[in-house]
Structure 1
Amino acid sequence: MHEFDYHTALNPERSVVIEACAGSGKTWLLVSRILRLLLAGAEPGEILAITFTRKAAQEMQARLLEWLRLLALQPEDEAREFLRQRALSDSEIEQLLPHARNLLERVLTAEPTLTINTFHGWFLQLLQKAPLEGGAVGNFSLLDQTSALLEEAWQSFAEDLAEQEEDPTASALQELFRGHGLFNTRALLLGFVAKRAEWWAYTAGQADPLAYALERLRRELDVDPEQDVLAEMQQDPVLAEWHSEYAQLLGKNTATDQKLAAQLVDALALKDLDQRFATLCPVYFTKSGTPRVRASSPTQAKRLGAHGEARLIELHQMMCDLLYEARDRLTAQAVYRFNCIGLRCGAALLDAYQRLKEARQMLDFADVEWRVFQLLSRSDYAEYMQYKLDSRYSHILLDEFQDTNPLQWQVMQAWLGAYGAVGSRPSVFLVGDPKQSIYRFRRAEPRLFQIAAASLMRDFAAARLEQDRSRRSAPAVIQAVNRVFAAQPDFAGFREHGWHHDTQEGAVALLPLAEKPAQAEEEGADDTVPMLRNPLQQARQEDEDVRHEQEAAQLAEKITAIVGRWQVDDEKRGPRPADYRDIMLLVRSRTWLATYERALRAARIPYLSSRQGGLLDTLECSDLAALLEFLVTPFADLKLAQVLRSPVFGCDDSDLMRLARGEESSWWQRLKALPEELLTAPLKLALERLAAWQEIADRLPVHDLLDRIYFEGEVLQRYRMAVPQAMVAAVQANLHAFIELALNMDSGRYPSLARFIDEVAALRRAPEQESPDEGLIGDGGNALRILTVHGAKGLEAPIVWLLDANAAPRNESGYRILVDWPPEDVAPRHFSLVSRKAELARAREHYVEAEAAHARRENLNLLYVAMTRAKQALIVSGSTSGKGGESWYQKIQAGLQDSGLGVGLSPAAVPPAFDMEEKPSVALEQNNLPVPPTGRREPFSRLDPARHHGIQLHALLEWVDMGRDLPEQKEPLQARLGLEEAEFAPLWAEALELLRAPVLQRFFDRAQYQAAWNELGYQGGDGEVRRIDRLVEFADCVWVLDYKTGGGAVDDPDVLAAPYRGQMNEYRRAMESVFPGKPVRCALVFPGPTLVEV
């Protein structure tokens, strides 16, 4: 494999196109290129970098500033090495080093600033600077979510047509409803609106777009809408003779053919031509629409004679050809009629949607792209805007170019193509990977990468480079990638990948598929009469499919075996035991996500799940929505019950039963009427706070009201106390996201709480991709991540588990828009509507076949992205499936066959000191409490010596492994604490004394307990974080141990334990809520060692 040419790639004077594989460091290349441009003297305002997500743009900006800060502050030798890594020679480094030291200030103070933006963000900037007559956006705002406005446009569209029964569009809509139903009609028309950019490009410049589109379709189908195909067939006397002769021959053949002969005779007797044709076709064709097989055979020749058999086969072939041609002409007519009414209604709905946006002064992403395209290529101001761009930008960088859509490329082409002399052209740096194009549903066109590369090589003398060496994945993972994709005929252009870390350990495991349980034979299955059941008394017995539950159980079991035992390579800390945070679970879709989450919760495995559009479905946000609804409608009893049971008030079932027995009309009235002696503390608190919040609900903006509720109701603290520690970060993030939602909706200016509630309800009904996502978690702590493959793009993890990998890819559904837009063309070549699969027409089959080929390639791209997220280990699992089609699991299995990869799930070698049996604490690194506003933090070295000693001993007791030889662990543990021998020796002796004491053996011997945790953190009722030194779970009880290591031997343990009784009782109460079925016992461990139960 050739070495990558970094000198050419980072040369600021060359235009470059780079096709870089997954994990090869594309972001590093882009930011390094920007740095080299700045070092070469480019002004920050002359640089334009475009990527596809705001997150990627922010990451590029942050990395650039971080590098510039390092260049400004780090020692000169380190700065020289930094520049040397970016392909600068020693002489260039010495010359540019003083300049590099000043780049940070230059970039931060530059006017205009360096531009790192998304395509849509940059397009908006262009429109804001355009002349008013040229398409400037003025006061228009960008519409991120369109579903609510589309719903409003649909309602307006339908209501307007309902009042205009004679309107052609109203008639067309009614015909769609009658022939295809409301659901399919709505899906089709909303799909048309989703393809509005393609429609605008297809009909651009036409006075009557609808007539233009229908005429192009008519010519392509080669159809005469007025032709009476069946009547012309009926008038042909030869056909009647052929049918009669064919029927006679069938009557002499097999019993099946004799039935077909009778059906043929019956069909010819029918007067209705449509019924006759529908009855004739099954005689000649199978149910799938293919001609019946007619071949010669000795027995058939004996029945019909040689001449009769030959004539039967000849007639069959001639009639099939005629009927097939007639059927195709009928289908073409049906397609044309369907498009006549469908395109008319789609264009009308699009007009209603555009008018609604115009009235609201809003633009969506498609509007922005189309306006910029017109501005730079077709308007009177194109040359003016191109001149402004030419004078502003001299260096253009394009990231993730495989995700570009045709319209975006047309914009760039219009700009770049307008440059004149070679000397005035900008440098262009284009990076992408067609293998990672997975956003076809967002109109991404990976074929544009090759077209753009050829254009830049031709017009800008760009160098073409390929980077196929992964800096992310271990050799085992890359070998698996090479074997799987080299064997895929639909994965053209794949080149064998190399790896950067030659010695890194890795593993690929293909787990057995979860099987559907075999049906047990019922007793009495051989009896003659089955038992009847009374459906009112006995439910129907159905076999439950638990394959995904089995896969989920296997997932939880294997993760428990991996964490703490497998070794991962940490870039900062070196080799260490695997944590939950090192594992990423990937799914293609969210269909079975809840099943996997249930298994993880049951196994007490902490996880973070990025549910798209799932914020309003979380329990905590559902509670808050119920609270707001109650404030508007106090008679909503179910909402009040939900609020009372939520952590906001913490009422129990007995509290709700008190309200249920009341006589007043609503629960709120019953709560207010409860006698003082029946008001428990939670009910009293609820009564006071709900009454106070009702008074201000109609006076404060929604955000301010929620802010008051969060503060007075201690919402964040109460939810933190109520949920498992592993879920605290996610729940807190969701609560913050909910209040942020109130601020983001119309900038927090909703005139009433009722209006906000209506908007929340609308968002619940919105598609997943437009509903608000769950809150982003800054630090998820020690928890694994569950992501879709789309959501994991750009991410990585030491251990990646691909779930449900045996699921078959989804097929294209009916009632969609069929578009053919070759990437080299300025507009689509074809635009039509598809109804049922049977109504396709031969003229459109090649478009559908091309669409299916694109879908197959993107399915492989998804698999490539999924596999290349893994740094060290890739695990693949799934369940058996009855559906046809080659799944990801099957492709990986075929690729790894006879390779020695994917044959097991054995851990890598783990240093003895790190192979811990105890479950790692998931709470140690989570502390969401704010720093106290007063006081100062004492450095560790200045702590009280006794306290310092206690902290070190606690750490040692947490890390030591009782399952291994203790003397062997001394040296690595001493290194881990960073202590000299003189300081570590007494500490080690004290730890051994505790661990080997007979009175404490049961708490450290793995054979005697079920589970154990060290330094277990939890949230107390006052909001403070407390830590239990050691928690040990036995079969019949739970023990809490607290080490008291100060002082010497104990004379009177009970007297010494007295000051700690309150602390231990607090531990007991907290753990009783965690282990409700077992008694919790607490003990202090004093020097000696002495165990004192409290």
Structure 2
Amino acid sequence: MSDVKLTDKPQDTEDYLRANKAQLASADPSHPVFVMANAGSGKTKVLIDRVARLLLRREDGRPGAKPDSILCITYTKAAANEMLSRLFRTLGKWSIMRDEELREELSRLEGRPVSAYETDDLRAARALFARALETPGGLRIETIHAFCARILRRFPLEAGVLPGFAEIEEEEAQAIWQTVRADAVLKAAEVAPEALNVLALEGGHDGADVALDAMRYQMNMYLEFAEQYDFDQDRMRAALVDGLNAPEASPSEILSLAMGEEMPIDALREALISLRASGKRDDTRTADAVEAALSEEDPVRRWECYRRAFFGATGNPYKSLYNAEAGKDDNVVSLFATKAETGSEVARVDEVAAKLKLAETVERTSALLAVGLDALVAYQEEKRRRGALDFDDLIRKTRDLLTRTGMSDWVLYKLDGGISHILLDEAQDTSPEQWELINALTNEFAAGQGAERQQDPRTLFVVGDEKQSIYSFQGADPAKLRAQEQDYVRRDSTAESQTMEMSFRSSPEILSFVDAVWNSAPPIDVAAGTHPSLSAEGVKHTARRAGQEGLVELWSVDERDEDEDADAWSRPVNAMRSSSPKARLATRLAQELKAMVKRGETVWEELPDRSWQRRAMRPEDILILVRSRTGGLFDAMISALKAAGLPVAGADRLKLTDHIAVQDCLNLMRFALLPERDLALAEILRGPFVGLVDDDRYLYPLASERRRGETLWSRVQASSDPDVQQASRFLSGLIANKRKPPYEFLSEVLDVPGADGKTGWEKINARLGTPAHDPVEALLSRAQGFDASEPSSLQAFVAEMEAKLVEIKRDLAAPEGQVRVMTVHGAKGLQAPVVVMPDTTAGPKSVSSTMFDVDGMPVWSPRKDSDVPAAELERAIANAKAEEEFRRLLYVALTRAQDRLIIAGHWHGARPPGYHDRSWYALCQTAMNKLGGDADEYGVHRFGDLPPKLAPSKDGRHALADLPNWVSTSPDQPGSARRFGAPSSLLGRKTPVLAPFSQTRQERLRRGRIIHALLEYLPALPKEARIDSADKYLARLPDLEDGEREEMAEAVFGILDAPEMQTLFQPGGRAEAAIVGSAPELPDGLIVNGRVDRLVVTQDEVLIVDFKTDQPAPESPEGVAETYRAQMAAYWAVLRRAYPGRQIRTALCWTDGPRLMFLPEEMLLEALKGAQSVV
């Protein structure tokens, strides 16, 4: 027997009695209540109980509230449907209960004695089910968007919307926006080309689209600002200048003055003499920048050169601009003293930089207004013309309808008799605009006539949890919940505040761990001016399941594996390495989860009589939570679970066109429209509908024997192979159907049996399995909708599917015998006996906001280094709030667990310990240390005891078969006469072996990669653009310190600017040039396959250069490592054969110096003689 009853019903402890009292008080409909409810504390039950009590007869005999007078607002449609279903179950159960049973049920609900319920009370309770069903329009349990749509349809003229308006999804709204955005850009190209140029330069290869898209999502801020100044560009610019305390002058005017008459040119030229005479590093750097600036006539280029004397590559000022020898010159000191507050060039340049930043912000924001306001206005007009409202429109127009003078009094008067009780669920996710709407409704509760018309007190019920507010990207502001509570309680003396601390979901160990994580988390530093740090209130959870043991595990982070990428040749370029930290963690977790199920480790299960028992763990008990579907871990986890033989539900969200079965279906249409599309046809031939998977027999002969201009389709038609002939008949049928509507085309392929007697559905299931069913069904649904709304055209349907990112959502709320892998956001409201958190080692992300509201003014600041002080503060506050939400997301993840919580993480970053110091992992480790969790020999820390084991179920429903040995055994590789080898491996391993995880090695490798990348891309840019591009590249690398960025930039520009290095970057030079070939001097059968950092080919010679970042660099070629010599010798040998008659020279360019070191030909020949092995 697999299930053994180990405990009875939990005891009614003092904590439970206190929690039950709080629930009864919260559900009491006689007064308004604000409830702060911990995760798992039963808030949905309380909300449903309150609705039920509102409907019941009152204690004094008065009738209960009418069903249509209750408005219950939820966050999602799924939550609304769940609440409605649970309420109808309750009312339906009452309708068939015996008298005594019903009296006991009502007594538990209301806290009144059983004897208090008379026959009339019971009759009224039984009638509620029928009354609710017969209510016109049904019970009003709906999302706030559904409520707004209903109000606007009732008062369209008052709201200024078209009667019968259509609600559009984001997909359609985005299509409208893209059209008006393109029109606005074309218009700006004619009437405001300078403004459009500013947007295009900031947007890079995306042009103006990035800025305009960001503007759309903060549309209200921009439109309200523009309305204040009647959309007058000059007035708006003046307001920005005044509000930011910016100079009136433009950036070009500021630089013309600062780099012109204000520049002490004579004094600088005199200072150059002392700086050059010293020759020290700081002096030379300053002199180079000053000299370059003085040689420039253009103010902008002069400024770019001149600022390099004062600021490093990352924008931070240098601590010293000269050394002691040059400091003997008073002129040098007066110009470049960094501690001088006024009078020096340092102070003047700081002032110019500050003015320039303000002026550029005004110019940038004004340009955005000049181009973008037309797009915003056109967007609103186009929606109005179509009679369409998006989700934001629904909220905004309903808010305006209920709050603005004029029609609002009439509308509220008409609504007043219809809404008596409002219940707001998930209040922490309510945006400020939505609160304005709620307030407009509840303010009327206390208004004279409305109050007089009501027998019952009119009430507001609000339930939420600040700790679970994780939707700031949708406008949620958890601080608003507390502010609303305080304001309402102050205005209404009958209002109460309740706290629900008891969790009915999680075990005591998990709740203690959650408390420790939350309460030991350090305050969040805003890192801006004197703004105070952000810190959360302490939290306390009590457990209803006080006697049921749980377990929290914290796994150690495995060190990064520096082994070579063994499967690089066979692995697709976009696939994750099997040795990557994420793949290794996913494999380790999948194997352990399978072992846990196989060993019969147990979880708790609640029985219908509310007692609990242990049973063997099943796959559906496991919920794996990640922060994001992107980044690789999500897919790696699903793949590892499948490889381990565990049933897995797949992704909870899927981009429709990313699924291979959908692409198979679209390929049928692509081919029908254009049979000459060889790639589409090749994919069809190998796909499930045709199934010619033997490339050597089918596809290769068909494709390889084509003559010039011959298509694959013509080869298929001409083939005599019976299988190919059958495929040809199928494909001809597709061409014959190309004029059919998309839905009819697909239905015939999927539903009608082919020549082999199988339908398309059967072929898809045979090849791809049942997970492919949902995406193909979604494609069919899209085709059906397209046929109803658009001209029936395969071409138009394929074009739409390729242009739009259609996402389908799969409901994984109810486990179906499978492990679930979800994002934390997607798992909100769910729970599972075993929760696994593998995505914990990364730190909080910086906000990507580029638009800031500064005292009612829009400010566009696309990068941190472009922030003016006001935007800098706003960005810092936004980052701090993002970190707060980062921690709240952790709280949501932790509280999904019922019995067991496994916290793991993959190596993150370049340095030990492999996780960010503000990551979830760091917070959990602090909590585990605080609780004193024990570690086993594998480094797993545990708080709580391992569960007992029970035999798995005998029904075999979840029996797991061991995979055969051949699955994990690599096939023997066939012998080959050709061997590919890296040039540096010719001499075997002769360099000293460093510890693979040592900090020194990690830093060396990282430094080398960054410097190589800069030397690859910067030479192709104009000289004046190189510094800015390097700054941007280095600024995007968060793991670097400012000093490291400056040192790397100096190393790179030391090479780029050195006169002796210019030969490397002359015309004819190429970066990262591939060299593949053989030579007589190389071992037999060896084909060299490598890349050289720089290859310069002229009419007379070929120069091979590799950049080396070793520190210190050797003084002579004799000191060069043998592997380096072998590498260059192999390149030399191959290119000697490729370029006969030209001189082939090899050189190592050491960044430490810098120094260009040519290798003698004799040394290269000697290195080739020592070649002894090939990889």
Alignment-derived partner of residue 78 in structure 2: 55
Deviation (angstroms), 1:342: 1.3
- Of residues 494-503 and 609-618 in structure 1, the stretch that sits farther from structure 2 once superposed is 609-618
Deviation (angstroms), 1:544: 8.9
Is the contact between residue 505 and residue 872 of structure 1 (CA under 8 Å) also seen in structure 2? yes
For residues 735 and 166 of structure 1, what CA distance do their matches in structure 2 show? 46
Q: 2:590 aligns with which of 556, 579, 582?
A: 556
Q: Pick from 336, 342, 352: which aligns with 1:326? A: 352
TM-superposed deviation, 1:599:
1.8
Equivalence for 1:1039: none
Please give the residue correspondences for 1:228-267 in structure 2 after superposition, counting only pairs within 5 Å: 228-230=253-255, 255-259=280-284, 262-263=287-288, 266=291
Given the two structures, how large is their TM-score scaled by the length of structure 1? 0.73
Partner of 1:68: 91
* CA positional deviation for 1:109: 0.7
> CA RMSD, aligned part only?
4.0
Shift of 1:280: 4.3
Counterpart of 1:44 in structure 2 is 67
Task: Specify the alignment match of 1:841 in structure 2.
Answer: 868
Deviates more, 1:93-102 or 1:105-114: 93-102
Contact 1:800 1:874 in 2 (8 A): yes
Amino acid at match of 1:183: D
Q: Is the 8 A contact 2:670 2:798 kept in 1?
A: yes
Matched, 1:118 2:118: no
Q: What's the counterpart of residue 679 of structure 1?
A: 722
C-alpha displacement of 1:356: 3.5
SS of structure 1 residue aligned to 2:372: helix
In the alignment, residue 6 of structure 1 is paired with which amino acid? Q
Map 1:484-883 onto structure 2 (within 5 A). Answer: 484-488=517-521, 489-490=523-524, 491-518=535-562, 546-564=580-598, 565-572=600-607, 574-590=613-629, 591-592=631-632, 593-653=634-694, 654=697, 656=699, 678-680=721-723, 684=726, 691=732, 694-699=735-740, 701-713=741-753, 715=759, 718-719=762-763, 721-722=765-766, 728=770, 730-745=771-786, 747=788, 750-763=791-804, 766=805, 771-773=806-808, 775-776=810-811, 781-813=816-848, 816-819=850-853, 829-882=856-909
Q: CA deviation at 1:209?
A: 6.9
Structure 1 residues 696, 496: closer, same or farther in 2, change over 3 A? Answer: same
Q: Equivalent residue for 2:34?
A: 17
Query: Structure 1 pair 913/793, CA: closer, same or farther in 2 (3 Å)?
Result: closer
Conserved in 2, the CA contact under 8 Å of 1:23 and 1:471?
yes
Q: Is the 8 A contact 1:17 1:430 kept in 2?
A: yes
Q: Deviations over 1:558-614 (max 9, x none)?
A: 111111422111223832111111111111112112222222222222212335342
| CA distance in structure 1 between the partners assigned to 2:176 and 2:167 by the alignment | 17
- What is the SS of the residue equivalent to 2:865? coil
Paired amino acid for 2:859: S
SS of 1:444's partner is coil
Question: Which piece of structure 1 moves more, 123-132 or 75-84?
Answer: 75-84
Residues 416, 203 of structure 1: alpha-carbon distance in 2 compared, 3 angstrom cutoff: farther
Cα 1:746–1:242 shift into 2, 3 Å:
farther
1:209-253 Cα shifts (integer Å, max 9, x gaps): 756654442222111332644566578989789979988997899
Question: Within the alignment, does 1:32 sit opposite 2:49 as a pair?
Answer: yes
Q: Given that residues 46 and 393 in structure 1 are in contact (C-alpha distance below 8 angstroms), is that contact kept between their aligned partners in structure 2? A: yes
| Equivalences for residues 1053-1092 of structure 1 within 5 A | none
Aligned to 2:483: 451
Alpha carbons of structure 1 residues 224 and 1012: separation in structure 2 relative to 1, 3 Å:
closer
Match of 1:344 among 370, 377, 388: 370
What's the CA shift for 1:838? 1.8
Residue identity in the other structure for 2:867: L
**Hey, what does 1:987 align to over in structure 2?**
none
Go from structure 1 to structure 2 and tell me whether the alpha carbon gap of 1:209 and 1:500 turns closer, same or farther (over 3 Å shift).
Answer: farther
Match of residue 914, structure 1, among 951, 957, 970? 951
Q: CA deviation at 1:859?
A: 0.8
Deviates more, 1:230-239 or 1:432-441: 230-239
Counterpart CA distance in 1 for 2:458 and 2:837 is 43
Shift of 1:849: 1.4
Q: 1:81 to 1:304 in 2, by over 3 A?
A: farther
Deviates more, 1:418-427 or 1:467-476: 418-427
Secondary structure of the corresponding residue to residue 886 of structure 1 = coil
Taking the aligned partners of 1:577 and 1:887, their CA distance within structure 2 comes to: 33
Indicate if the aligned counterparts of 1:698 and 1:752 stay in contact, CA closer than 8 A.
Answer: yes
Shift of 1:691: 4.9
- 1:923-951 CA-to-partner distances (Å, cap 9, x unmatched) read x9xxxxxxxxxxxxxxxxxxxxxxxxxxx
Asked whether the equivalents of residues 552 and 596 of structure 1 are also in contact (C-alpha less than 8 Å), the reply is yes
Residue identity matched to 1:109:
E
Cα–Cα, structure 1 residues 921 and 632, in superposed 2: closer, same or farther, change >3 Å? farther
- Alignment-derived partner of residue 479 in structure 1: 512
Equivalent position SS for 1:790: helix
Q: Which amino acid aligns with 1:584?
A: L
Aligned-partner Cα distance in 1 for 2:25–2:648 = 44
Q: Using a 3 Å threshold, how does the CA distance of structure 1 residues 407 and 561 change in structure 2: closer, same or farther?
A: same
How far off is 1:845 after superposition? 1.8
Which residue number corresponds to residue 1042 of structure 1? Answer: none
Contact 1:651/1:683 (<8 A) preserved: no
Helix, strand or coil for the counterpart of 1:866? helix
- Aligned partners of 1:459, 1:428: CA distance in 2, in Å? 13
Superimposed CA distance per residue, residues 180-215 of structure 1 (whole angstroms, 9 cap, x where no aligned partner): 424153111111112223434555565327566544
Aligned residues with identical type, % of pairs: 26
**d(CA) in 1 for partners of 2:421 and 2:390?**
28
Tell me whether 856-865 or 208-217 shows the greater mean CA deviation.
208-217
Q: How far, CA to CA, are the matches of 1:648 and 1:412 in structure 2?
A: 55
SS at match of 2:839: coil
Q: Given that residues 129 and 136 in structure 1 are in contact (C-alpha distance below 8 angstroms), is that contact kept between their aligned partners in structure 2? A: no
Judge conservation of contact 2:223–2:373 (CA < 8 Å) in 1.
no
Kindly state the Cα deviation for residue 504 of structure 1 after the two structures are TM-superposed.
1.7
CA contact (8 A) 1:300 1:309 kept: no
- CA spacing shift, 1:473–1:659, aligned 2, 3 Å: same
| 1:357 aligns to 2:383 (yes or no) | yes
Contact 1:150/1:353 (CA < 8 Å) preserved in 2? no
C-alpha spacing 1:164/1:443, structure 2 compared with 1 (3 Å)? closer
Correspondence for 1:428: 460
Q: 1:247 to 1:446 in 2, by over 3 A?
A: farther
User: Cα 1:456–1:201, aligned 2, differ >3 Å: closer, same or farther?
Assistant: farther
The one-letter amino acid of 1:25's match is: G
Distance (Å, rounded) in 1 between the aligned partners of 2:165 and 2:195: 34
Aligned to 1:5: 22
C-alpha distance in 1, partners of 2:507/2:245?
57
CA–CA separation in structure 1 for the residues paired with 2:318 and 2:924: 38
Cα contact 1:818–1:833 (8 A) shared by 2:
yes
In the TM superposition, residue 470 of structure 1 has moved relative to its aligned partner by 1.5
Q: Distance in 2 between matches of 1:175 and 1:276?
A: 20
Q: Hey, what's the Cα distance between the residues in 2 that align with 1:516 and 1:509? A: 21
TM score, norm. by length of structure 2? 0.69
What runs of 5+ residues in structure 2 fail to find an aligned partner? Answer: 1-14, 58-63, 525-534, 911-915, 968-1175
The CA deviation at 1:273 is 4.4
Cα 1:336/1:378, change in 2 over 3 Å: same
Does the CA-based 8 Å contact 1:249-1:312 persist in structure 2? no
SS in 2 for 1:871: strand
